[in-house]
Chains A and B, each alone.
Chain A
Amino acid sequence: MADLRSEFIGIKSPNPFWLASAPPTDKEYNVRRAYEAGWGGVVWKTLGSEGPPVVNVSGPRYGVIYGPDRRVMGINNIELITDRPLEVNLREIKSVKRDWPDRALIISLMVPCDEESWKDILHRIEDTGADGVELNFGCPHGMAERGMGAAVGQVPEYIEMVTRWVKTHSRMPCIVKLTPNVTSILPPALAAKRGGADAVSLINTVKSVISVDLDAFAPEPTIDGKGTHGGYCGPAVKPIALNMVGEIARFDETRGLPISGIGGVTTWRDAAEFLAMGAGNVQVCTAAMTYGFKVVQEMISGLSDYMDRKGFASVSEIVGRAVPNFSEWQHLNLNHVTKAVIDQDACINCGRCYAVCEDTSHQAISVDEARTYTVKDEECVACNLCVDVCPVGCIDMKTLPVGSMDPRTGRPVAPYGNWTTHPNNPMARAAE
């Protein structure tokens, strides 16, 4: 069993798996059960200002994208921040933290965009014993209409301003949660850093409409005949999140800013990928909302086995390991040549590789009378689509060594060369 202990901006937890601020962390009952199941930390569901709590819809709050066998691939929600009184939440947070001192407990906050509101809420949470705060600048629905959540996260100046207020009025570590509903994640991340954030967490949910009721002709989830956009999360958003995490991790001006990775983490492997792309830990929501808290046990055993296999002594050894290889396109080796190879013994002859290559790619697979599918090296551009659609994973890419003949181009494979120096690049010529 590898050592999974995690320290993220000074906050210690027995493993790097935290539950994200969301329905699973709305109350003491859930959070205690989460800790019992093994979660290393919890970001308590977002608290708002003192006073009458927000009101949630009592119709459906979630919609879903299904994979085969009704596997949940993505959830869309229109739930707002906690709808329970502030005092109740604060009392419960204090009680839970007292009983579980070794687990991380972060409080997510969202109050109106004025200094007094932030000062007030920070004062109210001071004696809960919580380990830090997370500023919810991410929720794309409901609260954004009131000038909070993503409405702040989409304006870097606001992020910087509020973050600075928080750092001025609190000694707690401060994580800024970012919205992906922006054209570039870098200005918001940079703004958080300038404001003094100890870390950023991302991504919050993606603004979305998940489905349309084709009888009622209304977006779903449908509340009394109407639907509104919600926030999309789960396995389907993981690629968006991985890119944004990686961009912050490799960008000169944000490099080194701690990142809590969020977005579709479902298995240990997803978590390890986020760590490799620069996240110091991960936060999980949809997997728990799909399968319950027990999923963390697979994440713990899986990450541990992986670390043992790789000889990693601590989680931090994984963090950022893939970032140096997260390149811009222009630096990719344009002379690198691979060819698809079908393992005929493992092939089940479904022909999906053929269908997609023939119809949508490069006509680089042939089929004979016996339904044997063979790659035509002289046509294969190594797009990888056959590998991607093969249901049994019997297609691999083999690399042609430098100097060997590429049957497609009729030329030998050349050594490394990228776009910046490529003869077809007008900018390359201009530089000469």
Chain B
Amino acid sequence: MAHSQYTPGIVPARLAPDAYRARFADIAPPLDDHQAQVAADRCYFCHDAPCMEACPTSIDIPLFIRQIATGTPEAAAKTILTQNILGGMCARVCPTETLCEGACVREAAEGAPVRIGALQRYATDRMMARQDHPFTRAAATGRRIAVVGAGPAGLACAHRLALLGHEVTLYDARPRAGGLNEYGIASYKAVDGFAAREIDWLMQIGGIRLVTGWKLGTDATLADLVDSHDAVFLGLGLGATGALGLAGEDKTGIAPATEFIAELRQAEDLSALPIGRAVIVIGGGMTAIDAAVQARLLGAPDVTIVYRRSRAEMPASELEQELALTRGVRIVENAVPVAIHGNGALHEVEFARTEAGPAGLVVTEDTFRLSADQLFRAIGQRLGPLPDGLTTEAGKIRVEGAGRTALPKVWAGGDCAQGGQDLTVTAVAEGRDAAEDIHSFLMGA
């Protein structure tokens, strides 16, 4: 397996065996006690704090930072986790630069926000290291609720329901719980099996039975669940990535970015993972960035993100774009793929330049080709097939209030449902709020 970075084609082991660990190390190493103290001291304890307003889960950020500053990080963690039970993962994956830290008044004052994400990680790491669970379940209600999908929305919903005294069965189609936390984010954002450890910790609340490898519509229908439970929450996430709609899309080397990311996250040995020499990622969101950066880290010398609009319009934040650029990813803006070339395997992709027109994007006649032996599509996932009776709007399950669907006793939240951005933190908020709503509904509060 004596491959190098420049070996043509899609091959494993482009790097020396000992190179992987350092390259895939924690991208934002945790703060030590002193760093946390210094960072916490910068918080102004704002009134009705803008950071808190910017947080989809409304964590009381000034309070938890003050608790860190006064030497009680576990109290800080409880403040965080009360609002967001996946506060540990959110501290790692939230685009804080566009949420809490983007709203921080010290960003306005000095262009340097309080390091809220890092501080949140500091506090939640302390709590997790203690290996106990700060919440206690309410008295059993005797109500049984099915939660479908053990991603961020489902986990948050299940935890809150269990906390309130309900019995929860948490179903997931994959072999492991976690959803995108486990399968969908760059591995350097949640190292050392953090997603799984966080779920183990979360499950300490009790009252949640996890069933994996269970598929809605195959193992049971929604109607079955509704019949056998007092309520059902759907946190299905999204399904397949959209196709480019080009001839030859079935050629070897073309795959959804989400599959690549999932495979990488689950890989025992990264050196066994094949990667192209020239890799193209189509898209402009965080999935595109995660795929492109990790392709580089696996040793691909030539990685290009191609986005149909300008960089300023990319859903991935400026910080994420910078991450990609500093890792040696090239970003080509204002171009769309128009043809795939290659004889069996991918060889080249032809792009047309785009222009912003009054009626939307205009694809021009100006074309160019990039050679590639691997292409990842990261152009957005679509909602998979849905059970009967649910209605959709703009490609999402239509919900009202805190996740109420068109079906009685059925709630939905997270990426599969309407509302908010498709972020872990948004999913947590929706799962949590749906749980509270289910509780009110069942208990007549």
A355 interface residue per 8 A CB criterion: yes
B37 interface residue per 8 A CB criterion: yes
A70 contact set on B, CB distance < 8 A: 37
B109 contact set on A, CB distance < 8 A: 348, 391-392
Q: Are B105 and A350 in contact (CB under 8 A)?
A: yes
- Proximity string of chain A (59-95) to chain B, C-beta cutoff 8 Å, 1 when within and 0 when not: 0000000001110000000000000000000000000
A124 interface residue per 8 A CB criterion: no
B135 interface residue per 8 A CB criterion: no
- Proximity string of chain B (50-77) to chain A, C-beta cutoff 8 Å, 1 when within and 0 when not: 1000000000000000000000000000
B105 contact set on A, CB distance < 8 A: 348-350, 391
Nearest-neighbor residue (CB-CB) of B47 within chain A: A351
Q: Are B41 and A351 in contact (CB under 8 A)?
A: no
Within 8 A of A (CB), among B21-45: 37-38, 41-42, 44-45
A350 contact set on B, CB distance < 8 A: 44, 46-47, 105
A69 contact set on B, CB distance < 8 A: 37-38, 41
The CA-CA distance from A68 to B48 in the complex, in Å, is 22
Q: How many residues of B contact A (CB 8 A)?
A: 15
Given A69-B38, A70-B37, A349–B108 Cβ distance below 8 Å?
Answer: yes
Q: Please give the distance in Å from A368's CB to the nearest CB on chain B.
A: 12
Given A348-B108, A392-B109, A354–B41 Cβ distance below 8 Å?
Answer: no
The CA-CA distance from A391 to B46 in the complex, in Å, is 10
A321 interface residue per 8 A CB criterion: no
- Proximity string of chain A (36-54) to chain B, C-beta cutoff 8 Å, 1 when within and 0 when not: 0000000000000000000
Q: Are B47 and A352 in contact (CB under 8 A)?
A: yes
Given A348-B105, A350-B105, A371–B50 Cβ distance below 8 Å?
Answer: yes
Within 8 A of A (CB), among B215-264: none
Given A348-B105, A348-B109, A350-B105, A68–B42 Cβ distance below 8 Å?
Answer: yes
Within 8 A of A (CB), among B255-284: none
A354 contact set on B, CB distance < 8 A: 47
The CA-CA distance from A350 to B435 in the complex, in Å, is 33
Given A69-B38, A348-B108, A350-B105, A391–B47 Cβ distance below 8 Å?
Answer: no
Q: Please give the distance in Å from A212's CB to the nearest CB on chain B.
A: 14
Q: Please give the distance in Å from B319's CB to the nearest CB on chain A.
A: 21
Q: Are A351 and B42 in contact (CB under 8 A)?
A: no
The CA-CA distance from A260 to B108 in the complex, in Å, is 44
Nearest-neighbor residue (CB-CB) of A357 within chain B: B47
B144 contact set on A, CB distance < 8 A: none
B126 interface residue per 8 A CB criterion: no
A68 contact set on B, CB distance < 8 A: 41-42
Q: Are A352 and B42 in contact (CB under 8 A)?
A: no
A348 contact set on B, CB distance < 8 A: 105-106, 108-109
Q: Please give the distance in Å from B48's CB to the nearest CB on chain A.
A: 6
The CA-CA distance from A2 to B41 in the complex, in Å, is 38
B42 contact set on A, CB distance < 8 A: 68
Within 8 A of A (CB), among B380-408: none
The CA-CA distance from A367 to B37 in the complex, in Å, is 31
B108 contact set on A, CB distance < 8 A: 348-349
The CA-CA distance from A355 to B47 in the complex, in Å, is 6
A355 contact set on B, CB distance < 8 A: 47
Q: Please give the distance in Å from B248's CB to the nearest CB on chain A.
A: 52
Nearest-neighbor residue (CB-CB) of B40 within chain A: A68
Q: Please give the distance in Å from B49's CB to the nearest CB on chain A.
A: 8
Q: Please give the distance in Å from A375's CB to the nearest CB on chain B.
A: 15
Nearest-neighbor residue (CB-CB) of A356 within chain B: B47
Q: Please give the distance in Å from A349's CB to the nearest CB on chain B.
A: 6
Nearest-neighbor residue (CB-CB) of B45 within chain A: A352
The CA-CA distance from A42 to B108 in the complex, in Å, is 46
- Proximity string of chain A (325-355) to chain B, C-beta cutoff 8 Å, 1 when within and 0 when not: 0000000000000000000000011111011
B50 contact set on A, CB distance < 8 A: 349, 371
The CA-CA distance from A237 to B50 in the complex, in Å, is 35
B106 contact set on A, CB distance < 8 A: 348
- Proximity string of chain A (356-395) to chain B, C-beta cutoff 8 Å, 1 when within and 0 when not: 0000000000010001000000000000000000011000
Nearest-neighbor residue (CB-CB) of B53 within chain A: A371
Q: Please give the distance in Å from B398's CB to the nearest CB on chain A.
A: 29
30 A-B contact pairs sorted by A residue (CB < 8 Å): A68-B41, A68-B42, A69-B37, A69-B38, A69-B41, A70-B37, A348-B105, A348-B108, A349-B50, A349-B105, A349-B108, A350-B44, A350-B46, A350-B47, A351-B46, A351-B47, A351-B48, A351-B49, A352-B44, A352-B45, A352-B46, A352-B47, A354-B47, A355-B47, A367-B48, A371-B48, A371-B50, A391-B44, A391-B105, A391-B109
Sorted nearest first, the 6 A-B pairs with minimum C-beta distance are A351-B47, A355-B47, A68-B41, A348-B105, A350-B46, A350-B105
Which B residues are within 8 Å of any A CB, using their own CB? 37-38, 41-42, 44-50, 105-106, 108-109
Which A residues are within 8 Å of any B CB, using their own CB? 68-70, 348-352, 354-355, 367, 371, 391-392
Other than the given A348-B106, A351-B46, 16 more pairs (CB < 8 A) read A68-B42, A69-B38, A70-B37, A348-B108, A348-B109, A349-B105, A349-B108, A350-B44, A350-B105, A351-B48, A352-B45, A352-B46, A355-B47, A367-B48, A371-B48, A392-B109
